[in-house]
Amino acid sequence: MTDPDRAADVRNEDRGAGATAARRRIPLLLAVAGLAYALDLGSKLAVVAWLENEEPVGLIGNWLELEVLRNAGAAFGIGEAMTIVLTLVATTVSVVIVRLSRKLYSTPWAIALGLLLGGALGNLTDRLFRTPGGFEGAVVDFISVRGFSVMNLADWAIFCGGVLIVLYSFLGWELDGTGREPGREHAEAA
Protein backbone atom coordinates (compact mmCIF):
# COMPACT_ATOMS: atom_id res chain seq x y z
CA MET A 1 0.00 0.00 0.00
CA THR A 2 1.42 3.40 -0.93
CA ASP A 3 1.61 6.37 1.41
CA PRO A 4 -1.24 8.26 -0.34
CA ASP A 5 -3.46 5.15 -0.05
CA ARG A 6 -2.57 4.79 3.62
CA ALA A 7 -3.38 8.49 4.22
CA ALA A 8 -6.75 8.04 2.47
CA ASP A 9 -7.51 5.03 4.71
CA VAL A 10 -6.68 7.05 7.84
CA ARG A 11 -8.96 9.90 6.68
CA ASN A 12 -11.77 7.41 6.01
CA GLU A 13 -11.29 5.85 9.47
CA ASP A 14 -11.44 9.34 11.01
CA ARG A 15 -14.70 10.03 9.18
CA GLY A 16 -16.10 6.75 10.46
CA ALA A 17 -15.20 7.71 14.04
CA GLY A 18 -16.79 11.13 13.48
CA ALA A 19 -19.97 9.54 12.19
CA THR A 20 -20.16 7.39 15.34
CA ALA A 21 -19.65 10.48 17.48
CA ALA A 22 -22.40 12.28 15.59
CA ARG A 23 -24.85 9.50 16.35
CA ARG A 24 -24.02 9.81 20.03
CA ARG A 25 -24.65 13.59 20.07
CA ILE A 26 -28.11 13.45 18.51
CA PRO A 27 -29.47 11.30 21.36
CA LEU A 28 -27.91 13.77 23.83
CA LEU A 29 -29.60 16.68 22.05
CA LEU A 30 -32.93 14.83 22.15
CA ALA A 31 -32.47 13.83 25.81
CA VAL A 32 -31.74 17.42 26.90
CA ALA A 33 -34.65 18.71 24.78
CA GLY A 34 -36.96 16.04 26.21
CA LEU A 35 -35.94 16.82 29.79
CA ALA A 36 -36.38 20.58 29.30
CA TYR A 37 -39.74 20.00 27.62
CA ALA A 38 -40.97 17.58 30.31
CA LEU A 39 -39.95 19.90 33.16
CA ASP A 40 -41.65 22.83 31.47
CA LEU A 41 -44.85 20.96 30.66
CA GLY A 42 -45.05 19.33 34.09
CA SER A 43 -44.48 22.61 35.91
CA LYS A 44 -47.13 24.38 33.82
CA LEU A 45 -49.67 21.63 34.44
CA ALA A 46 -48.95 21.78 38.19
CA VAL A 47 -49.16 25.56 38.57
CA VAL A 48 -52.33 25.79 36.46
CA ALA A 49 -53.96 23.05 38.57
CA TRP A 50 -52.88 24.41 41.96
CA LEU A 51 -52.12 28.11 41.62
CA GLU A 52 -54.21 29.63 38.83
CA ASN A 53 -56.70 32.20 40.20
CA GLU A 54 -54.94 32.07 43.58
CA GLU A 55 -52.83 34.66 45.37
CA PRO A 56 -49.12 34.63 44.45
CA VAL A 57 -46.93 32.31 46.51
CA GLY A 58 -43.81 34.00 47.83
CA LEU A 59 -40.59 32.05 47.47
CA ILE A 60 -38.21 34.84 48.48
CA GLY A 61 -40.53 37.42 50.01
CA ASN A 62 -42.23 39.30 47.22
CA TRP A 63 -38.97 39.43 45.23
CA LEU A 64 -39.53 35.95 43.74
CA GLU A 65 -43.05 34.55 43.57
CA LEU A 66 -45.12 31.91 41.84
CA GLU A 67 -47.89 33.77 40.06
CA VAL A 68 -49.77 32.30 37.10
CA LEU A 69 -50.22 34.62 34.14
CA ARG A 70 -51.27 33.87 30.57
CA ASN A 71 -48.99 35.60 28.06
CA ALA A 72 -50.11 35.86 24.44
CA GLY A 73 -46.92 37.74 23.53
CA ALA A 74 -43.21 37.18 23.82
CA ALA A 75 -40.92 37.98 26.75
CA PHE A 76 -42.10 40.91 28.88
CA GLY A 77 -45.54 40.69 27.20
CA ILE A 78 -44.19 42.24 24.00
CA GLY A 79 -46.03 41.45 20.76
CA GLU A 80 -49.34 40.19 22.10
CA ALA A 81 -50.94 40.83 18.73
CA MET A 82 -48.29 38.69 16.98
CA THR A 83 -49.04 35.29 18.52
CA ILE A 84 -49.17 33.53 15.15
CA VAL A 85 -45.79 35.03 14.20
CA LEU A 86 -44.30 33.83 17.51
CA THR A 87 -45.70 30.36 16.82
CA LEU A 88 -44.05 30.35 13.38
CA VAL A 89 -40.74 31.52 14.89
CA ALA A 90 -40.80 28.69 17.46
CA THR A 91 -41.62 26.19 14.71
CA THR A 92 -38.80 27.52 12.51
CA VAL A 93 -36.29 27.38 15.38
CA SER A 94 -37.26 23.76 16.05
CA VAL A 95 -36.88 22.77 12.39
CA VAL A 96 -33.51 24.53 12.09
CA ILE A 97 -32.18 22.75 15.19
CA VAL A 98 -33.30 19.37 13.85
CA ARG A 99 -31.55 20.12 10.54
CA LEU A 100 -28.38 21.29 12.32
CA SER A 101 -28.30 18.09 14.34
CA ARG A 102 -27.03 16.22 11.28
CA LYS A 103 -23.70 18.07 11.69
CA LEU A 104 -23.61 17.75 15.48
CA TYR A 105 -20.48 16.15 16.93
CA SER A 106 -20.07 18.45 19.93
CA THR A 107 -21.39 17.61 23.41
CA PRO A 108 -21.57 21.28 24.53
CA TRP A 109 -23.47 22.25 21.37
CA ALA A 110 -25.83 19.28 21.85
CA ILE A 111 -26.67 20.57 25.34
CA ALA A 112 -27.16 24.17 24.18
CA LEU A 113 -29.30 23.22 21.19
CA GLY A 114 -31.24 20.73 23.31
CA LEU A 115 -32.12 23.48 25.80
CA LEU A 116 -33.19 25.77 22.97
CA LEU A 117 -35.26 23.03 21.30
CA GLY A 118 -36.92 21.91 24.54
CA GLY A 119 -37.82 25.49 25.45
CA ALA A 120 -39.13 26.29 21.99
CA LEU A 121 -41.27 23.13 22.00
CA GLY A 122 -42.57 23.92 25.50
CA ASN A 123 -43.84 27.35 24.51
CA LEU A 124 -44.99 26.04 21.11
CA THR A 125 -47.16 23.47 22.90
CA ASP A 126 -48.90 26.30 24.75
CA ARG A 127 -49.36 28.26 21.53
CA LEU A 128 -50.99 25.27 19.84
CA PHE A 129 -53.11 23.80 22.62
CA ARG A 130 -53.91 26.44 25.23
CA THR A 131 -56.86 28.82 25.00
CA PRO A 132 -57.78 30.15 22.49
CA GLY A 133 -55.77 27.48 20.61
CA GLY A 134 -55.01 27.23 16.93
CA PHE A 135 -51.59 28.95 16.89
CA GLU A 136 -52.88 31.73 19.18
CA GLY A 137 -52.69 30.10 22.61
CA ALA A 138 -51.33 32.04 25.54
CA VAL A 139 -48.17 30.75 27.19
CA VAL A 140 -48.39 29.95 30.92
CA ASP A 141 -45.86 32.05 32.83
CA PHE A 142 -45.46 31.63 36.58
CA ILE A 143 -41.97 32.55 37.83
CA SER A 144 -42.37 36.20 38.82
CA VAL A 145 -39.26 38.25 39.55
CA ARG A 146 -40.29 41.60 41.02
CA GLY A 147 -39.65 44.50 38.69
CA PHE A 148 -38.40 42.24 35.90
CA SER A 149 -40.68 39.67 34.28
CA VAL A 150 -42.89 36.65 34.71
CA MET A 151 -41.40 33.59 33.01
CA ASN A 152 -41.62 29.82 32.77
CA LEU A 153 -39.06 27.01 32.60
CA ALA A 154 -39.18 27.01 28.78
CA ASP A 155 -38.08 30.65 28.82
CA TRP A 156 -35.19 29.76 31.14
CA ALA A 157 -34.16 26.88 28.86
CA ILE A 158 -34.23 29.19 25.83
CA PHE A 159 -32.23 31.84 27.69
CA CYS A 160 -29.59 29.37 28.94
CA GLY A 161 -29.32 27.70 25.52
CA GLY A 162 -28.95 31.10 23.85
CA VAL A 163 -26.22 32.21 26.27
CA LEU A 164 -24.32 28.96 25.67
CA ILE A 165 -24.62 29.36 21.88
CA VAL A 166 -23.22 32.89 22.06
CA LEU A 167 -20.39 31.69 24.32
CA TYR A 168 -19.49 28.75 22.07
CA SER A 169 -19.57 30.97 19.01
CA PHE A 170 -17.34 33.51 20.74
CA LEU A 171 -14.90 30.75 21.72
CA GLY A 172 -14.87 29.46 18.15
CA TRP A 173 -16.31 26.05 19.01
CA GLU A 174 -17.99 24.41 16.03
CA LEU A 175 -20.96 22.05 15.80
CA ASP A 176 -18.66 19.33 14.52
CA GLY A 177 -16.63 19.42 17.75
CA THR A 178 -13.70 21.36 16.38
CA GLY A 179 -12.47 24.73 17.51
CA ARG A 180 -10.29 27.46 16.17
CA GLU A 181 -6.64 26.60 16.12
CA PRO A 182 -4.49 29.15 17.97
CA GLY A 183 -2.82 31.49 15.50
CA ARG A 184 -4.94 30.31 12.59
CA GLU A 185 -6.81 33.63 12.28
CA HIS A 186 -3.49 35.49 12.09
CA ALA A 187 -2.15 33.17 9.39
CA GLU A 188 -5.34 33.52 7.32
CA ALA A 189 -5.34 37.31 7.68
CA ALA A 190 -1.75 37.60 6.43
Instruction: State pLDDT tens for residues 59-74.
Output: 998 899 999 999 876 6
Asked if residues 68 and 52 have their Cβ atoms less than 8 Å apart, the reply is yes
Tell me, what's the pLDDT at 110?
95
Find out whether 87 and 135 touch, Cβ atoms under 8 Å: yes
Name the active-site residue from 3, 40, 155, 176: 155
Taking the domains of the chain in order of start, what are their residue ranges? 20-178
Check pLDDT > 70 for residue 94.
yes
Query: What average pLDDT score do residues 87-110 get?
Result: 89
pLDDT tens for residues 113-171?
999 999 999 999 998 898 877 777 889 999 999 888 889 999 999 999 999 999 999 99
Asked which of 9-13, 60-64, 107-111, 146-150 is least confident by mean pLDDT, the reply is: 9-13
Residue 2 burial (10 A CB sphere; 0-12, 13-18, 19+): exposed
Mean pLDDT, to the nearest integer, of 45-55?
93
For 111-149, b where at least 16 C-beta lie within 10 A, e where not — what string? Answer: bbbbbbbbbbbbbbbbbeebeeeeeebbbbbbbbeeeee
Over 90: is that where the pLDDT of 10 sits?
Answer: no
Q: Where are the alpha helices (DSSP H) in the chain?
A: 3-51, 83-100, 107-129, 153-171, 184-189
CA 168 centroid distance within chain: 14
The predicted pLDDT at position 178 comes to: 82
Burial of 185 (C-beta count, 10 Å sphere; 0-12/13-18/19+): exposed
Does the annotation mark 3 as catalytic?
Answer: no
8-28 mean pLDDT: 54
126 is annotated as an active-site residue: no
The mean pLDDT value of the chain amounts to 81
Task: Spot the catalytic one: 3, 126, 141, 176.
Answer: 141
What's the CA gap between 187 and 168, in Å, rounded? 22
pLDDT at res. 181? 43
- Of 17 and 116, the one with more pLDDT: 116
Higher per-residue pLDDT: 167 or 19: 167
pLDDT at residue 75, rounded to an integer: 60
Q: pTM of the predicted model, to two decimals?
A: 0.77
Q: Measured between alpha carbons, how far apart are the two ends of the chain, in Å?
A: 38
User: Is 58 strand, coil or helix?
Assistant: strand
